[in-house]
Structure 1
Amino acid sequence: MSGKANWPEGVARRLLDTVDSTNAEAFRAAPHLTGPCWFVAGEQTAGRGRRARAWTSPRGNFHGTLLLHPTEPAATVALRSFAAALALRDAFVALTGLPDAFKLKWPNDVLLNGGKVAGILLESSGAGQGVQHLAIGIGVNLIAAPEATQVEQGALRPVSLLEETGLRIAPEVFLDALAPAYARWEAIFAAEGFAPLRAAWLAHAARLGETIRARTGTETREGRFETIDETGALILRQSHGPVAIPAAEVFF
């Protein structure tokens, strides 16, 4: 494997051929693991995106989950979605040399030339208010993207890395770039909190300062994408002032 020399110390990995979903596999293994572990599958038979949507998982794309055992409150644990997005961008840039091509879409997508190339799904298990295990699920369209007809109306077009750049990158090679990139952001998060992640994320945010739409349930709000706050919430500037939106689907 190309990046073994850079593999983060103390982090395990399991390469699997076929699983239902890497998040599900990570949770099954969680009681027997004491440290972080990456699970990467050749293909998934029941991959999921946000809001339990099916995630197309053909062989050759990246289907992976990082399992962690966090100790912070749930709201703090959830901020790791931004660490994952930053790590994804770092991995893409390291492998392609195209820093201007990749942007971050709130709350948890990575864009390539304006289309969605990767998504992140955080799931957790625990008792009461605590989080015992965190699964950071990551899907990357390395060689193939869903058809436009497979995504909801108004959503960004799906794209693949191969289609947009001509580069064919194997999932294992992508993992070798992604794992150390995530470890760097995790170390920064542990030492300095969310502030440096927030600043870095905003530096690469898609449509910052532009008018966007945020849909929560049946309500859609339109306004200028002003920033994200210290909790990771979207701050939308409307005529009556700024509105903080903790969770929503964003449309451009």
Structure 2
Amino acid sequence: MTDWPEGVARHVLARVDSTMAEAARLAPRIAGPAWIQAREQTAARGRRGRDWKMPEGNFAATLLFHPKCELTQAALYSFVAALALEEALSRLIGPAGRLSIKWPNDVLLNGGKVAGILLESIGTGGQLSHLAIGIGVNLAEAPPAAQLETSAMAPVSVAGETGLTITPEEFLPPLAMAFDRLARQFETYGFAPIRTAWLARAARLGETVVARTTTETTEGVFETIDDSGAMILRTAHGPRAIAAADVFF
């Protein structure tokens, strides 16, 4: 077995505004999937356009590809990516840390956020041509608390929690291999096996959580995720399906 998936390109940049922006620029010119990795980002962003800082030694990359599924299912690649990220971290960390996934796709290490994922569709006229999956991992250092929102989960780093030194260059191949394998599984068998594997790694499953959108706050017991990836909460008023929200423990 090689340490890089067949037919997948790799672009490693010393400095870029953001790997997601570079993916959008590359999309019209590439035929197959490609990983875009940067050692430094000057204008990175997270979900909902939030600023995202990248301390030196941390991992930042975007996978650009054409999804092999219906447009309505493209968002499920978020769960594929979360599983791949958890698998790559587990392979490199081993028993030195406890990993889990916070819905929908933040990876936790010993209960703190060590990695996050951002999905963006690329296309024109309402047609999806490519999907960009941006991944950031605190390998060397967690961002300072002053850079975070007051309600944000406390960040941690791999080095801080385990004492292990893993470089961004070392991290990309196992991540790319894990995503390639899981994406092929998703394309062949659908979401069911991905959902089962994700639930086995879900943080706070069976416990009370709070889901907040810009207009509503819902508290309930996190029971499962459905076939669309929505979080199902058991509330005082019955089950609720949460399609998108910030989740707090």
TM-score bucket of the superposed structures, by smaller chain? over 0.9
> Are 2:33 and 2:66, in contact at CA under 8 Å, matched by a contact in 1?
yes
Q: Which runs of 5+ in 1 are unaligned?
A: none
For residue 230 of structure 1, the aligned residue among 218, 224, 227 is: 227
Give the aligned residue type for 2:185.
I
Q: Which runs of 5+ in 2 are unaligned?
A: none
The Cα shift of 1:244 comes to 0.4
> Are 2:19 and 2:38, in contact at CA under 8 Å, matched by a contact in 1?
yes
Paired with 1:171 and 1:73, the residues of 2 have a C-alpha distance of 32
For residue 213 of structure 2, the aligned residue among 196, 216, 223 is: 216
- List 4+ stretches of structure 1 deviating above 6 A: none
Partner of 1:66: 63
Are 1:156 and 2:153 counterparts? Answer: yes
DSSP-derived class of the 2:172 partner: helix
- Show the 5 A alignment for 1:88-127: 88-98=85-95, 101-127=98-124
Partner of 1:75: 72
For residue 44 of structure 1, the aligned residue among 24, 27, 41 is: 41
Paired with 1:16 and 1:133, the residues of 2 have a C-alpha distance of 21
Paired with 2:97 and 2:213, the residues of 1 have a C-alpha distance of 30
The Cα shift of 1:31 comes to 0.9
> Are 1:20 and 1:44, in contact at CA under 8 Å, matched by a contact in 2?
yes
Paired with 1:219 and 1:99, the residues of 2 have a C-alpha distance of 38
The Cα shift of 1:219 comes to 1.1
TM-score by length of 1: 0.96
For residue 191 of structure 1, the aligned residue among 188, 192, 198 is: 188
Are 1:243 and 2:209 counterparts? Answer: no
Paired with 2:129 and 2:96, the residues of 1 have a C-alpha distance of 36
Q: Which deviates the most, 151-160 or 123-132?
A: 123-132
Give identity over the alignment, percent.
Answer: 61
Partner of 2:81: 84
The Cα shift of 1:79 comes to 0.4
Paired with 1:195 and 1:46, the residues of 2 have a C-alpha distance of 36
For residue 169 of structure 1, the aligned residue among 158, 163, 166 is: 166
The Cα shift of 1:36 comes to 0.4
Paired with 2:117 and 2:104, the residues of 1 have a C-alpha distance of 9
TM-score by length of 2: 0.97
Q: Deviations over 1:48-105 (max 9, x none)?
A: 1111111111221001000011243332011000010000010001101138610000
The Cα shift of 1:177 comes to 1.0
Q: Which deviates the most, 140-149 or 88-97?
A: 140-149
The Cα shift of 1:212 comes to 0.3
Count of residues paired in the alignment: 249
Alignment root-mean-square deviation, CA: 1.3
Give the aligned residue type for 2:90.
V
The Cα shift of 1:156 comes to 1.2
DSSP-derived class of the 1:79 partner: helix
Partner of 2:3: 6
